[in-house]
Amino acid sequence: MTDEFWQNVLEDDETLLWTGRPTPRISLRNFQLLGPFIGAVGTVIAGGFLLTYNSLPLSQSVVMAAVIGLVVLSLVKGLNRWADLTRTRYALTNHRALFFRLQKGETRVKAFSRSLETAPDVKPTSPPSVFFIRQERSDNPALAGHLGFEYVQDSASLCRLMATAYKGAKR
């Protein structure tokens, strides 16, 4: 992202502290990303057993259609999640946490005030994910989501910029 981009996004008294983007690695720690692909493999194996040992009153073409449909749905879900991450960028300023999504010639931005910041919760993904924004639902304030920057390389430097340190943080 260019200097001109930041001039258009940042407010007058706002300072850019950190920028990053998700860079997930293929690992068991990132099971939420690998899960749909493993699910597709499991569906193929289960479908193979059904076709081999079929004593059900279903034709093989119905079983094949169901297996193919479930595999396609699982793969589409996994690929969409990977694609979303490749189009995501993050920034932390002295006033806001910014989430960018690059889409077909435009950039969508969501901004959250640093006043919503909580102690960072570092998840052991590969690289780590740092969740630090509490977002309450307007229809039910008791339900709150924990948002943050996922799969970021320099999570340790990001955590040092948080208002409240997480347990065990080195300052």
Continuous segment of H or E residues that includes residue 62: helix 60-86
Task: Indicate the pLDDT class of residue 167, thresholds 50, 70 and 90.
Answer: very low
Task: Indicate the pLDDT class of residue 7, thresholds 50, 70 and 90.
Answer: confident
Residue carrying the six token digits 């008791």 = 142
Give the span between the Cα atoms of 16 and 31, in whole angstroms.
Answer: 32
pLDDT at 168: 44
Please tell me the pTM assigned to this model. Answer: 0.74
Residue carrying the six token digits 């999504």 = 101
Positive/negative CA dihedral, 65, 71, 73, 75: negative
- Determine which of 6-15, 44-53, 99-108 has the lowest per-residue pLDDT on average: 44-53
82-141 pLDDT, tens per residue? 888 889 999 998 888 999 998 887 888 898 888 888 888 889 999 999 998 887 777 776
CA 11 to chain centre: 26
Domains of the chain: 1-165 (2.30.29)
